């Protein structure tokens, strides 16, 4: 079975806005599915009141927010009390750093990478410096930007408290084998593991218990939904964290790690993304009594195949063009390469080539995409940076052809 791409595209109203435009900056934020827009609109028209009181519109508002929390907990195979819904991943990791870092002490160690977006790097480093904690860096291979699991082993000690890495780099697009890495970490240390999945979640929603991570974060505005960050924190470690909530709310897991307070309509809107996934599943597989996570896995098989087909010709073109340097893996055969494709032009600046692509109707960008350390360590000027073409499952072959034509003539 193949992904019914026409059905998929009919679920995203914005795709119809300008048929000549190819949106290829999805890793910066995706289009919003119709279902999420519907929930947001309904909330704002009918239940825009303080939620969780007894009067009808308020009670309905509370139910809409609870539906989102329960739905995402089911999707991630976690308890709703293990889910923080905050304004963004950067804020969620910032708050998390205060909550775990309060108990760090000199002599402790943490491991961070130079592959990550700064949201999963700077907050931990800053807290470690404040607390006298040793920072060890798991480093990418300097040509490809890929992480090798073998080089993680020597960094792990008895006193390693946390290891932070990314599920998928927002630059090189390679999906790191999280389950395998977690096993390596847990067999070589007592460290806990936090994974940034912002660049991975648009391609697949994972089962937290199967991954074995202690913390995991991603941003729904890149997963076809409202501007919210979801963060899983294993309940077993809540006791080793300090609440960041108002003192009278402390001990409430939905509030402990989100001092901002919930953004009511946006939280409710998160359920719309799952409504979309439900419809996508029903359209392809019919009625199903499988659980939410199992259905997401089935969708993923279709999405993966489709996204591989989108990425392959672009990777091929860039790899074989003498004037371009491709970062990351050159193929999708191992099913571990998201269609997030970054490359450096060798004979013109990234800015120049990007502007030509934009003038040809391709919505792409250049820069360091806040993976400043990675871009610098790959020997690339972080201001001009790389060009990033990032696609998701609603892309189609016609768009790929247009990207390739635009690239060819711009070069
Ligand atoms: C890989 C990765 N991690 C973290 C973030 C930060 O997410 P947010 O914008 O929700 O703070 C981004 C945003 O671009 C990202 O690409």
Q: What is the CATH number of the domain that holds 83?
A: 3.40.640.10
The answer to whether residues 25 and 45 belong to one domain is: no
* pLDDT tens-digit readout, 15-49: 999 999 999 999 999 999 999 999 999 999 999 99
The answer to whether residues 235 and 340 belong to one domain is: no
Q: Is 258 in the pocket of ligand 1 (CB under 6 A)?
A: no
Q: Which of 140-144, 230-234, 277-281 has the least mean pLDDT?
A: 140-144
Specify the CATH number for the domain of residue 386.
3.90.1150.10
Is there a domain that residue 282 lies in? no
Q: What percent of the chain has pLDDT over 90?
A: 99
Is there a domain that residue 323 lies in? yes
Phi, psi angle pair for 130, to nearest 5°: -60, -35
Long-range CB contacts (within 8 A, 24+) of 380-383: 380/344
Cα 27–Cα 93–Cα 182 angle in degrees, nearest 5: 85
The answer to whether residues 240 and 140 belong to one domain is: yes
Instruction: Say what the pLDDT of residue 123 is.
Output: 98
Instruction: Say what the pLDDT of residue 318 is.
Output: 98
The answer to whether residues 66 and 214 belong to one domain is: yes
Neighbours of 397 (CB within 10 A): 12
Instruction: Say what the pLDDT of residue 239 is.
Output: 94
Whether 254 has a pLDDT exceeding 90, the answer reads no
The answer to whether residues 239 and 318 belong to one domain is: no
The answer to whether residues 265 and 349 belong to one domain is: no
89 and 218 Cβ atoms separated by less than 8 Å: yes
The answer to whether residues 181 and 317 belong to one domain is: no
> From the alpha carbon of 27, which atom of ligand 1 is closest?
16
Is there a domain that residue 281 lies in? no
The answer to whether residues 300 and 262 belong to one domain is: no
Q: Among residues 327, 331, 338, 325, which one has the least CA distance to residue 391? A: 338
* pLDDT tens-digit readout, 260-284: 889 999 999 999 999 999 999 999 9
The answer to whether residues 305 and 193 belong to one domain is: no
Is there a domain that residue 283 lies in? no
* pLDDT tens-digit readout, 329-346: 999 999 999 999 999 999
Is there a domain that residue 327 lies in? yes
181 and 165 Cβ atoms separated by less than 8 Å: yes
CA R_g for the chain: 21
Q: Is 109 in the pocket of ligand 1 (CB under 6 A)?
A: no
Cα 334–Cα 338–Cα 340 angle in degrees, nearest 5: 140
* pLDDT tens-digit readout, 67-116: 999 999 999 999 999 999 999 999 999 999 999 999 999 999 999 999 99
The answer to whether residues 24 and 84 belong to one domain is: no
Domain stops at, among 239, 273, 307: 273
Instruction: Say what the pLDDT of residue 261 is.
Output: 86
The answer to whether residues 115 and 23 belong to one domain is: no
Confidence of residue 124 (pLDDT cuts 50, 70, 90): very high
Pocket test for ligand 1, best of 198, 270, 328, 365 (most atoms within 8 A of CB): 198
Per-residue tokens: 60: 């309905």
The answer to whether residues 123 and 241 belong to one domain is: yes
**Nearest 10 degrees: CA dihedral of 363, 365, 369, 372?**
170
Q: Which structural domain range is residue 340 located in?
A: 5-32+292-410
Q: What percent of the chain has pLDDT over 70?
A: 100
Enumerate the β-bridge partners of residue 230: 85, 218
Domain stops at, among 242, 273, 304: 273
H-helix segments, 15-121: 34-46, 56-76, 89-101
Q: Is 326 in the pocket of ligand 1 (CB under 6 A)?
A: no
> From the alpha carbon of 169, which atom of ligand 1 is closest?
1
Is there a domain that residue 280 lies in? no
Q: How many domains does the chain have?
A: 2
| Ligand 1 centre distance from Cα of residue 265 (Å) | 21
Is there a domain that residue 94 lies in? yes
Q: What is the mean pLDDT of the chain?
A: 97
Classified as helix, coil or strand, 262 is: coil
| Ligand 1 centre distance from Cα of residue 284 (Å) | 31
Domain stops at, among 221, 246, 273: 273
Whether 188 has a pLDDT exceeding 90, the answer reads no
Instruction: Say what the pLDDT of residue 62 is.
Output: 98
> From the alpha carbon of 166, which atom of ligand 1 is closest?
1
Q: Is 244 in the pocket of ligand 1 (CB under 6 A)?
A: no
Taken in order 196, 199, 375, 28, is the CA torsion positive or negative? negative
Is there a domain that residue 278 lies in? no
Q: Is 199 in the pocket of ligand 1 (CB under 6 A)?
A: yes
């Amino acid at each position: 079975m193949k992904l019914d791409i026409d059905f998929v595209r009919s679920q995203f109203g914005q795709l119809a806005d300008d048929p000549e435009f190819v949106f290829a900056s999805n890793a910066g934020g995706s289009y919003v599915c119709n279902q999420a827009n519907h929930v947001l609109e309904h909330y704002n028209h009918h239940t825009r009141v303080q939620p969780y009181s007894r009067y009808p519109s308020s009670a309905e508002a509370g139910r809409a927010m609870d539906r989102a929390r329960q739905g995402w907990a089911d999707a991630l195979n976690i308890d709703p009390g293990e889910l923080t819904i905050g304004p963004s991943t950067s804020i969620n990791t910032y708050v998390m750093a205060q909550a775990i870092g309060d108990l760090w002490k000199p002599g402790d160690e943490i491991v961070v990478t130079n592959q990550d977006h700064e949201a999963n790097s700077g907050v931990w480093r800053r807290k470690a410096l404040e607390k006298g904690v040793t920072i060890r860096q798991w480093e990418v291979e300097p040509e490809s930007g890929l992480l090798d699991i073998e080089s993680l082993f020597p960094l792990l000690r008895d006193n390693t408290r946390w290891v932070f890495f990314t599920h998928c780099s927002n630059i090189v697009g390679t999906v790191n084998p999280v389950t395998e890495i977690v096993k390596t970490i847990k067999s070589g240390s007592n460290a806990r593991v936090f994974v940034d999945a912002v660049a991975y979640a648009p391609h697949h929603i994972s089962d937290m218990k199967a991954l074995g991570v202690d913390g995991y974060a991603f941003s729904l505005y890149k997963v076809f939904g409202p501007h919210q960050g979801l963060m899983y924190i294993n309940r077993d470690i809540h006791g080793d964290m300090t609440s960041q909530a108002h003192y009278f709310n402390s001990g409430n897991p939905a509030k402990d790690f989100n001092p901002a307070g919930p953004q009511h309509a946006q939280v409710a809107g998160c359920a719309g993304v799952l409504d979309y996934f439900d419809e996508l599943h029903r359209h392809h597989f019919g009625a199903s009594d499988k659980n939410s996570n199992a259905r997401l896995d089935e969708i993923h098989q279709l999405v993966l195949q489709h996204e591989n087909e989108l990425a392959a010709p672009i990777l091929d073109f860039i790899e074989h063009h003498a004037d371009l340097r491709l970062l990351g893996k050159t193929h999708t055969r191992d099913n571990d390469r998201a269609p997030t494709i970054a490359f450096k032009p060798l004979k013109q600046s990234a800015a120049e080539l990007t502007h030509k692509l934009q003038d040809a109707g391709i919505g792409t960008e250049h820069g360091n995409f806040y993976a400043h350390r990675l871009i610098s360590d790959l020997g690339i000027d972080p201001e001009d940076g790389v060009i990033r073409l990032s696609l998701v499952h609603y892309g189609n072959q016609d768009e790929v052809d247009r990207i390739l034509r635009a690239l060819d003539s711009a070069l």
